[in-house]
Amino acid sequence: MNIDLVTDIVADITVEFINKEDYSTDTNKELLDLAGFDAEQDTICFLHEKRKLFCGIQTKDSDDIRSAMSIAIKALKSTKYLSASVNVDKESISAIIEGIVLGGYEFTTYKSTPKVQTLEDFYLTCKDISSLQEPFAQALIVAEATCFTRDIVNMAPQEIYPQTLAEIAQKLAEDNELTCKVLDEKALKKENMNAMLAVGRASVHESKLIHLTYKPKNPKKIITLVGKGLTYDSGGLSLKAATSMVSMKMDKAGACAVLGIIKAASELKLDIEIHGFIGAVENMVGGNAYKPDDVLVSRNGTTIEVRNTDAEGRLVLADVLDYAQEKVEADYIFDFATLTGACMVALGQYTTGLMGHSQPLFHKFYDAAYHSGELVGSLPFNKHLKKLLKSEIADISNTSSKPYGGAITAGLFLDKFIKDENKEKWLHFDIAGSAYSESVWDCNPYGATGAGVRLMSSFLSEIN
């Protein structure tokens, strides 16, 4: 579907947003009343004879506009209209584009006969194109990068494994003038990345470390992004229940978010150097699988007692974080991981958990979340939970000795591998709940949401 910014157009149907206050005096109120419309948030009503689609909104805030537009685009795609239009201004344009692109997203790769879409053109009408061209282009780039991320997460595990994920990164590098370095298992062994290698040992697919770099001239900041790339997680010998194993293709969402963020940043031409490090691994079952009771020696020399092979993402990230800190002296270090179900227990299904030591960084991301439409909540570290990672036979255990505060203890495990000089520069993003959904919400469809791309794009665009 084409999306164009125009000053005037006669489309097949026009979308209009209306709140309760404006509804009371609207000239179409009598017809809308007859149809049962009441202008509640996320309600819609077609007046086909007038070629209009009315969308109820509670306020004119971006969150309400984006959500209503997401409902509207789904409804329009089920009609036979060829074109649609909606009026935009500087305050609404980003939310409307996100509603159209993200709300209208469908993953149909594996459908033998995908539904043919009639709607071909969506026109955004405004009085002055020149004043809106930049936000129009920026919003499209970020929305399309989010869909790019969704596509990779949604792809089946027989198609996306460490090698093919590396190939996607290499193709992105070619298309966006990035550099890409891939370490195979031989190179990983030389780097003493034993924790990461242990997780992937039982897979027929070799583990890979992917390093993508976007390097503009005279960057004002250097950012390191680290992504958990478990292309499939069976739980290993601590095997997941059958129902829990379904959807585990999403365990690579952190890695995919890193790819989407770098794609967006490079196309936005941000003057920030970005390094993306991805630990691409498949956690499977086999005679050579790593086991509970194993003791692993991580890249930085920390010994780790394995109590649960399903707490594998943190083992991969431990080595990748250490490698990334050695290779790049960054101003900020952010890792993205579908790390714990406990984060969903703490914050709900839709919210990304933030963990770290820097209160100023937390506040910057609260602001970025507000402007991007993503939801975040912070989970506090404390010394008492840290004690639960104590091991009697190694430096640290990969799981807590008690079942409470699991998202925080996972974050504290990662903190063990952050150098002292980088503690205030680092944040951990647990996207276990926000990265994948089996029900539609806001502008997110069934499946991958692309969590992290809009949030980080907002942060990077305002960085100073």
* CA dist., res. 38 & res. 30, Å (int): 11
Angle between helices 453-462 and 129-154 (to 10 degrees): 140
pLDDT at 464 over 90: no
Name the token pair of 428: 């951990």
Which residue in this structure is represented by tokens 């939970």? 385
Question: In angstroms, rounded to a whole number, what is the distance separating the alpha carbons of residues 254 and 281?
Answer: 12
The answer to whether the predicted template modeling score (pTM) of the entire model surpasses 0.85 is yes
**15 Cβ neighbours under 8 A, 6+ residues apart:** 52, 53, 55, 69, 72, 76, 84, 85, 86
The string of pLDDT tens digits covering residues 213-252 is 999 999 999 999 999 999 999 999 999 999 999 999 999 9
Residue intervals of the chain classified under CATH 3.40.630.10 are 142-462
What is the percent of the chain where pLDDT is above 90? 99
**Separation between Cα atoms, residue 185 and residue 346, nearest integer Å:** 36
Taking the C-alpha atoms of residue 352 and residue 343, their distance in angstroms, rounded to an integer, is 8
Cα(199)–Cα(284) distance, integer angstroms: 8
Domain 2-129 falls in which CATH fold? Leucine Aminopeptidase, subunit E; domain 1 (3.40.220)
Question: Is residue 343's pLDDT more than 90?
Answer: yes
| Burial of 49 (C-beta count, 10 Å sphere; 0-12/13-18/19+) | exposed
Under 8 Å between Cβ of 397 and 304: yes
- Span of 114-123, 201-210, 285-294 with lowest mean pLDDT: 114-123
pLDDT tens digit sequence for 10-53: 999 999 999 999 999 999 999 999 999 999 999 999 999 999 99
Banded pLDDT at 64 (limits 50, 70, 90): very high
Query: Tell me, what amino acid is at 443?
Result: C
Q: Which H or E run includes 251? A: none
User: Which pLDDT tens digit goes with each residue over 100-132?
Assistant: 999 999 999 999 998 888 999 999 999 999 999
Instruction: Report, as residue numbers or ranges, the catalytic residues.
Output: 240, 314
Q: Which of 317, 279, 296 is nearest to 413 (CA)?
A: 317
What is the location of CATH 3.40.220.10 in the chain? Answer: 2-129
Indicate if the pLDDT at residue 265 is higher than 90.
yes
Is it true that domain 142-462 has CATH number 3.40.630.10? yes
